Amino acid sequence: MLALLAVGLSLVGCGEPRIDASTKEKLKESSASVRESVSDERRAEFDEAMKILAFSQVDMKDLTASGATGGANLEDKLRESLEGKSASEIIAAGAKIKGERAERERQQALKEIVELEKKVQESADAKESLKAFEVVSSRFELKEERYMGKRPIIELKVRNGTPHAVARAYFEGTIASPGRAVPWLKDSFNYSISGGLEPGEESEWSLAPNMFSDWGKVNAPSDAIFTATVTRLDGSDGTSLYGGEELSERQLKRLAELKSKFGG
């Protein structure tokens, strides 16, 4: 009996078996014996803790180290982390690492929630500010031109009600029929304003999209209505005043999942 314990286990205090990691062979034998000392109900918990302790020692430097050095470093760290531990101490150590990892994940998730919600609020604020740049009237037609076929023309009248000079305006144009759920065309376009548009000024534009684009291929009926929504405005220095990138469906889904799991 004493000889067996000398091979694989160390006995202290109440006699709870402990890991002997002095050699690879003893580590293997003592680990098996310690596992056998655990009740059936807690054995799965012990196995998970052993895996957690093993993975907690993994370092990218060790993984990328050349030759046998990397593997030896990892093995030494694992043996050191297990040396002299009982089953209950291994389970406790695994639970501690697992809890710390969960807390780091929670803190990272809360940080991501704040960042995504900030973008949502910025997008909402931008949409409200964009309302001040008014599309007074909008019209679309496919104009027949000799030898050229039909050329798409977008006619807009706008008023700059913002407190800033606008150098470029971005729009989302929609051609749709009343009562029809799906529009005939929905596409974006933008216009660089020669001389800019100062606060309070109005302007009328006649824009000609590429005739080979979707604008030149749309086949909408006579009852179709063209509307243009302002999505972004650039100032005189070329930087965005309002608008820009909104959260994608994937980002919105991600935000909902994070809030459902972590709150915030």
pLDDT category at 156 given cuts 50, 70, 90 is very high
140-151 average pLDDT score: 84
Q: List the one residue out of 133, 147, 138 whose CA is nearest residue 174.
A: 138
Total-model pTM: 0.60
Q: Which of 134, 130, 138 is nearest to 205 (CA)?
A: 138
What is the pLDDT, as a whole number, of residue 97?
A: 93
**DSSP string for 97-149:** HHHHHHHHHHHHHHHHHHHHHHHHHHHHHHHHHHTTEEEEEEEEEEEEETTTE
Instruction: State the pLDDT at residue 56.
Output: 84
Residue spans in the chain of domains classed CATH 2.60.40: 132-249
Contact 179, 143 (CB under 8 A): no
Q: Mind listing the pLDDT tens digit for each residue in 167-212?
A: 999 999 999 999 999 999 999 999 999 999 999 999 999 999 999 9
pLDDT digits (tens, 9 = 90+) for 57-96: 776 555 555 554 555 677 788 888 889 999 999 999 999 9
Backbone angles phi, psi at 45, to 5 degrees: -65, -40
Q: In what order do the strands lie in the sheet with 202-207?
A: 133-145, 149-160, 202-207
- HSE-CB for 18 with a 13 A CA cutoff: 17
Tell me what percent of the residues of the chain surpass a pLDDT of 90: 66
Considering only CA atoms, which of 140, 234, 148 is closest in space to residue 187?
Answer: 140
- Please tell us whether the domain made up of 132-249 is placed in CATH 3.40.190: no
Q: Give the chain's mean pLDDT.
A: 87
> Which residue has better confidence, 253 or 10?
253
The whole-number average pLDDT for the span 15-28 is 88
DSSP 8-state code for residue 40: H
